[in-house]
Amino acid sequence: MAEQSIPLSIYLLRSDRVGSFEAALSVGTAALPLVPPLDGYAIGLPSAPRTPEWVPVVQSVLQSPAGFSMVGQSVAAFLVVRQGGKTFVLTFGYAWAKLDDDWLEPDFGRRIALNLIPPDQLVEIHVEQIFAKWHVARERAPRASSVQEFGVQFDRDLVASVQGVPSNSQFGKKIRGATSLRVEVPFSQLTDLLKESITYFESDSYKKKWPEIDNMKVVTDEALVVQLENQLDGELKSGQAQKKMVMFTPAYRKADVWTVDSYVYGRMTKTPATTPYLLVDGWLNYLAKINREPSVEAAKESLIHLMDEGKEAVDRCSAFQCFGYELPFAGRQYILSSGIWYEVAIDFLNKVNKTASKIPPPKIALPAWNGVETEGEFNLKCGLVAGFLSFDAKNIAFGGGQSKFEFCDIFHPKSKTLYFAKIPSKSSGMSHLVEQVRRTAELLFSTDGAYRKQLTKVFQKYHKGADTDWLKTRPKHGEWNLCLVSLGKPIPKLPFFGRCGLVKLYSDLREQGHDVSFLTV
C-alpha cells in the first residue's frame, strides 16, 4: 500500500443503504477487489472527453484557430472499504458528486472532527445561519485559534463543518469534518484510520468540549421524518410554506470549496437559462412551466444545477435540498436545512421560551394594528397620536459612504420609549428588527457624540420644536426604553429563530444595563 500522504475524503454509508448504493452504481463486474487486509473494491467513473466552453473564446482571437484545439476529461473513482461492520466510501475526483445524500450518515465527519479538535485549535468553521436570513457563512483563521475568536453563535447557527488541528496525530496535521471526513495521511494507515474513525464517530464526548453545539440535532427516526414531510407537503400545497421558506445552496457535505455563480432549474441543455439567485419564486416559476404544483415530491424531483463562473456545472441537487424551513410539530420545533431535518433540543427550546416570556411590555402602549396596514402606514398612524413622533424612513446619514440608519420607528419622548415595529412573517424579518434595535443601542449610547449630532439635525428637519437638549450629552443606560413591536404575532407565535434572536438581544442589552420591552399590537 502506498506510503504517500494524500488528501482523502471519507464517507460512511448508512447500514440500510449499502444495497441502494451498490445497485445505483451497478456494482458487479465493474468492481475491482482490493488487496488484503483491505476488504472492499474500487470502481472507476470515466467520463467522455469534451471541449471546455472557454476554448472557442480563445480561438476567436487567434489568427489560426484550428491550431488551438483542446479537450478535457474528468475522471473519478470510488474506493469502498468494509471495516468493523461498516461500509466506508472514499471518493477521488468528482466521484463525491455521484453520492446520494440518502445513502450517507449526514453527521459522520463532523462528529469525528468535534471529538478530535480542541476548542482552541479551530482553523475554520462553516455555519448555516438559520436565524439571520438563512445564509451560509464560512470563517477561517490564519492559524489555529479559539472558537471565541470566530463569529459563530450556537443559539442561531447550524455548524455544518469544522476544521482544525486534531488531538490524535494519526489523523494528520489538520482534519475537516462535515458529512465527509477530510484528512491527509499516508495511505498505508487507512485501515487503522478507519478503525479509529468508528470509535470517534460513536462517541459523544465532544459534548463536554462543545456543550452548545447540539442545540439542533439530526432527526434519525424515519417515521418522524415522514410525518414532518407530510406536514410540509400540506403547507406547500396550501401556499403557506412559500411565505416562510427560503432557499440557499446546500454545502454541508462538500469536501472542497467553490463559488457558485448561477443556477439552472430543471434539465440541463447545451445553452441553459441561468439565474444568479436561488429563490423560492424561481422554483415556483419552474414548476409552472412544467405544469406541476408545489409539493415535497415535486421539490425532491426538481433538479437545480450549480454553475461556476465559467458556466460549468459543478454539482446538482434537488430543490428540497435547498430549502430552509421552520416547522413546529407535536410540541417540538424542527428545522429543514440542506435536505436534513433537525430537532431543536428540548432544553434549549424551553430556555428560549422561558426567557422570552419574561420580557415586559412598555409603559405606554401603541394603537392596535388592523392587520392590513403596512409597517410604514402603521408607523405613520402612531406618529399622528398626541405625544408620539414618527421616525420611520427618516434616515440618518452616518458612518461614511452610503451608510444610513433609522433612529427608531416611533418615539414617545415623555416616557423615553423608542419603538421598533415589524411584521414578523419570517425569522429574517425578526432579524432586521433585532439588528435595528442593536444598531440604535450602539450608536445612541456611544461615548462618541457624532451620531447624536446627526440625529439632532433629523429632529430639526422633521419635528421642529421637539426637545433635543437630551442629545447634547450621552444618554444613560436604563433611562430609555427600547421596545420591539410585533405587528400581529405575540411571542409564542413568532418563528422560533425569531424568538432566539429576540432573547439574545434582550439578554445582551440587559447585561449592558438597558431597559428593554416587547409589545404585540
pLDDT per residue as tens digits for the range 428-472:
667 788 888 999 999 999 998 888 998 999 999 999 889 999 999
* pLDDT for residue 428: 60
Q: Please, which pLDDT band fits residue 57 given cuts at 50, 70 and 90?
A: confident
Q: What is the dihedral angle through the alpha carbons of 265, 270, 275, 276, rounded to the nearest 10 degrees?
A: 120
Tracing cell 445505483 back to the chain, one arrives at: 24
* pLDDT for residue 335: 87
* pLDDT for residue 255: 45
CA separation for the pair 392, 415 (Å, rounded): 19
pLDDT at 52 over 80: no
CA separation for the pair 305, 274 (Å, rounded): 9
Residue 476: left (phi > 0), alpha (psi -120 to 50), or beta?
beta
As a whole-number percent, the residues of the chain with pLDDT over 70 amount to 89
How many other CB atoms are there within 10 angstroms of residue 400's CB atom? 6
| Residues contacting residue 456 through CB under 8 Å, at least 6 positions apart | 468, 471
- Strand, coil or helix: what is 10? strand
pLDDT at 331 over 80: yes
* pLDDT for residue 83: 94
Q: Please, which pLDDT band fits residue 137 given cuts at 50, 70 and 90?
A: low
As a whole-number percent, the residues of the chain with pLDDT over 90 amount to 45
Domain boundaries, the chain: 5-117+166-214, 244-344, 359-520
Q: Please, which pLDDT band fits residue 93 given cuts at 50, 70 and 90?
A: confident
pLDDT at 397 over 50: yes
* 515-520 vs 481-486, strand pairing mode: parallel
- CB distance 17 to 102 below 8 Å: yes
Element (H, E) at 15: none
CA separation for the pair 247, 338 (Å, rounded): 9
Q: What are phi and psi of 219, to 5 degrees?
A: -80, 120
The tens digit of pLDDT for each residue in 105-128 reads 988 999 999 999 998 898 888 776
Distances (CA, A) of 149 to 120, 123, 140, 176, 262: 9, 10, 10, 18, 32
* pLDDT for residue 520: 95
The tens digit of pLDDT for each residue in 66-75 reads 888 877 667 7
- Strand, coil or helix: what is 333? strand
CA-based radius of gyration for the chain: 27
Q: Please, which pLDDT band fits residue 402 given cuts at 50, 70 and 90?
A: low
Mean pLDDT of 212-231: 87
CA separation for the pair 115, 317 (Å, rounded): 30
Q: What are phi and psi of 78, to 5 degrees?
A: -105, 140
pLDDT at 512 over 90: yes
CA separation for the pair 507, 324 (Å, rounded): 26
Among residues 365, 346, 356, 348, the alpha carbon closest in space to that of 491 is found at 356
Tracing cell 416611533 back to the chain, one arrives at: 410
Q: What is the dihedral angle through the alpha carbons of 430, 431, 437, 440, rounded to the nearest 10 degrees?
A: -150
How many other CB atoms are there within 10 angstroms of residue 77's CB atom? 16
